[in-house]
Amino acid sequence: MLDGLDPEQREVALALSGPVCVLAGAGTGKTRAITHRIAYGVRAGILQPASVLAVTFTNRAAGEMRGRLRQLGAGGVQARTFHSAALRQLQFFWPKAVGGDMPRLLERKIQLVADAAARCRIRLDRNELRDVTGEIEWAKVTQTVPADYPAAVAKSVRDAPRDPAEISQIYALYEQLKRDRSVIDFEDVLLLTVGILQDRHDIAEQIRRQYQHFVVDEYQDVSPLQQRLLDLWLGDRDNLCVVGDASQTIYSFTGATPDHLLNFRNRHPNATVVKLVRDYRSTPQVVHLANGLLSQARGRAAEHRLELISQRDPGPEPAYTEYADEPAEAEGTARRIRDLVAAGVPAGEIAVLYRINAQSEVYEQALADAGVPYQLRGAERFFERQEVREAGIALRGAARAGGNDSLLDDADDLPSQVRAVLSTKGWTSKPPSGSGAVRDRWESLAALVRLAEDFARAKSGATLSDLVAELDERAAAQHAPTVQGVTLASLHAAKGLEWDAVFLVGLTEGMMPITYAKTDEQVEEERRLLYVGVTRARLHLSLSWALSRAPGGRASRRPTRFLKGLRPGSGSLGSLAAAGAGGIERGIAGGRRKPRGPVLCRVCGATLTEAGAMKLMRCEDCPSDMDEALYERLRDWRAEQARELAQPAYCVFTDKTLMAIAERVPTTDGELSSISGVGVRKLDRFGADVLAICAGGDGGTGDDEH
Ligand code: ATP
Ligand code: MG
């Protein structure tokens, strides 16, 4: 267990009692050190698995930690988010502490906030509602009551999205409405648990008897409320091990603060403090850029930074690419991804990371057009899908029936049993052709099969019942199995993860830093976000930006200031626009685009900004003048093509592109190629067919007459 650690990491693993603090940069093996520490303690008989609570901040990270612990033979250890650990305790102790059933947990606040605002006679649009909801969440995790909100905001560096007095009023009414309707929200789970632990010494004692050792990953992101809960769990003991990197603080806007990490030694003068500087994740080229980024950082976190030293062999230099417009950037990115996959990099080892989720659409489209499988990191929804729920019921039934289930052969291994059960739900060994709901359903079932395979590998002798228990656990933590596709994720969602190849896209001023980062502190947090992105890459790192939003638009954008002096051709101060030189590729895909004015809606004339709308060349909710019969013929033809090519239908053309074709009814190559999604290669391959269909034929592929 200790062999896989370097001397400093080993020091962490061996310090099994008393406070321990690991301050270290990205990729230095913090997560590895704490999982090995726990596993070592358990194997050596020093830690009781059930007495250890490992906490982190996202379901995904908790799931990863559980997986790593299980592989190291410490599967009995609880690895949870603060929220899920608190929720379990709250559910368990509610009858004793309060009596009756625990109130229902509100899934989403926004409706209730809207109701509260309406009662205050304050009109808020959707975006304002979201912002006000964010303020209420911030107030709650910083333990600010409604009456104190205006003063707290004034003292902090945040900009309130509205008059703080109004927000305070909405917040107060929101709390009232929750009480009236007997619901609690996400933050209440922590607040109520804290309340119970404070008031009820008997319950606090019971929890403290159960948990003796606490480990916190990504500790730089702890909020005051989470810290309070952690203090209550600990009581007067100090068996606490925290690891973090102040330079990766990216959740300040939600109330998180690296102060607890940076002040750990003040609070615990006897703490073992370990610093790690060897970077095992990334090549010297990637690490050089990461160090360069941080060398320009300012503020408290930056004062504590450590220069990382790569332990890996040299790799390619990071690639910096400037594109003419966003669709060109997405197409160029998709093309490079396809090349990497062709060169043998598994799609699951590639990620495209962006600043905000709304940027994903254009990349989804481009990857679909390029025939590259991808997954969004919205993994939470997996277990809520209908087919997954149905599959769960079938597996549970089979597990319960055990040897009596006619489907199952006891001699079969677990994955075969799972395949047998899921084949009654539509799983087949080969994916169905085409895209759409059938394919989606199959993908979900295939993901479950893969999950069973991984599970059986990690836990030999596992039974169907074990698997069902695992699925329940994952569903509770909403941790989806990995699918073998390129990951599309926001930078925030990428923390703690790593890929062989990482594409950081949309790196323009306005997006990075994001326009609403105004104060120096907010801008510094954006720089840290880019640092998090850069340090996700093991080997290939690509950074790109587009000079305009839409094809033919004005090239008014500038690359991010954070790369100034770091990327070739950026000079030093003041020459942000000097991007064209020094190895910067310019407008790869943009080259073949004819310059055009802004794309206007064909129906209402509005300027289009959304990728989907640009593809259709009309606002998505403007009435369609599509030739429905033509669209159907195109779809039939596409299904046929997809079958012949043994590829999903969207690899031929996406639905949006087919719709655009059926709306425009092109008669020439030129007209067809002006439709977004019809590139040179597709024009060569499918152009003649499509034009024939548009002219009333059947594309020459069908044998039978219509
Ligand atoms: P982050 O700050 O991004 O969360 P981290 O410090 O938690 O990073 P890990 O994810 O634990 O880093 O480790 C980064 C990578 O380096 C992992 O692939 C891990 O397996 C590998 N690694 C860490 N320590 C060692 C080691 N001593 N020997 C070999 N590989 C290591
Ligand atoms: Mg980590």
Report all structural domains of the chain as residue ranges with CATH numbers, in order of start. 7-88+191-275 (3.40.50.300), 107-184 (1.10.10), 314-379+478-592 (3.40.50.300), 384-476 (no CATH), 628-705 (1.10.150.80)
Residues 544, 585: Cα–Cα separation, whole Å: 10
Distance from the CA of 28 to the center of ligand 2, in angstroms?
Answer: 8
d(CA 187, CA 58): 14
| pLDDT, averaged in runs of 10, over the chain (706 residues) | 93 94 96 96 94 91 89 92 94 92 87 94 83 90 94 85 93 96 93 96 96 96 94 96 95 89 95 95 97 91 85 96 92 96 94 82 78 68 73 91 64 87 88 59 80 82 89 64 77 92 96 85 94 98 92 87 91 39 33 45 68 70 77 89 79 84 88 84 89 78 34
For residue 280 and ligand 1, the question of a CB distance below 6 A is answered with: yes
- Strand order across the beta sheet in which 213-216 lies: 78-81, 52-56, 213-216, 240-244, 20-24, 272-276
Using CA positions, which residue lies closest to atom 8 of ligand 1?
27
Determine which residue's CA is closest to atom 18 belonging to ligand 1: 281
How remote is the CA of residue 279 from the centroid of ligand 1, in Å? 7
Q: What is the pLDDT of residue 478?
A: 45
Residue 27 CB less than 6 A away from ligand 1: yes
Ligand minimally distant from the alpha carbon of residue 528? 1
Phi, psi of 407 (to 5 degrees): -70, -30
- Ligand 1 neighbourhood includes 698 CB (under 6 angstroms): no
- Whole-number Å distance between alpha carbons of 11 and 601: 63
The structure tokens listed for 524 are 């510094």
pLDDT of residue 407: 60
- pLDDT tens sequence across 671-681: 898 887 888 78
The response to whether residue 6 sits with its C-beta less than 6 Å from ligand 1 reads yes
Tokens matching residue 616: 């259709």
Verify whether ligand 1 is closer than 6 Å to residue 29 (CB atom). Answer: yes
Q: What is the pLDDT of residue 607?
A: 66
Tell me if 133 sits within 8 A of 109, measured CB to CB: yes
Rounded to an integer, what distance in angstroms lies between the CA atom of residue 238 and that of residue 38?
16
Cα dist. 624→266, 601, 659, 674 in Å?
65, 11, 9, 19
Check residue 610 and give its pLDDT. 67
At residue 615, the pLDDT reads 67
Residues around ion ligand 2, judged by CB within 5 A, are 30-31, 496
Contacts for 267 with CB less than 8 Å, ≥ 6 apart: none
SS3 597: coil
Q: Which residue among 12, 32, 276 is best mutated to probe the pocket of ligand 1, counting the most ligand atoms within 8 A of its Cβ?
A: 32
Residue 388 CA to residue 506 CA, distance in Å, equals 34
Token digits of residue 290:
């990461």
- 291/441 Cα distance (integer angstroms): 44
Q: How many CB atoms lie within 10 A of CB 220?
A: 26
Residue of the nearest CA to atom 9 in ligand 1? 29
What's the one-letter identity of residue 458?
A
Quote the radius of gyration of the chain (alpha carbons, Å).
27
**Residue 555 token pair:** 């090239």
**321: phi then psi, degrees, rounded to nearest 5:** -130, 130
In 331-471, beta strands by DSSP E: 350-354, 374-376
| pTM for the model | 0.69
pLDDT at 644: 82
Taking alpha carbons only, the member of 310, 312, 329, 311 closest to residue 321 is 329
Looking from the CA of residue 24, the nearest atom of ligand 1 is 6
pLDDT at 208: 96
How far, in Å, is the centroid of ligand 2 from the Cα of 26?
7
Q: In the prediction, which pLDDT does 573 show? A: 37
pLDDT of 124: 87
Does an H or E element contain 279, and which?
Answer: strand 278-279
Residues 6+ apart with CB under 8 A from 125: none
Q: What DSSP designation does 647 have?
A: S
Q: Which of 124, 104, 178 is nearest to 146 (CA)?
A: 178
Residue 351 vs residues 261, 333, 374, 493: alpha-carbon distances, Å? 29, 11, 9, 11
The residue count for the chain = 706
CA of 370 to the centre of ligand 1 (A): 32
Q: Is 150 helix (H, G, I), strand (E, B) or coil?
A: helix
3-class SS shares of the chain: helix, strand, coil, % to 5: 50, 10, 35
Whether 636 is in the pocket of ligand 1, judged by its Cβ within 6 Å, is: no
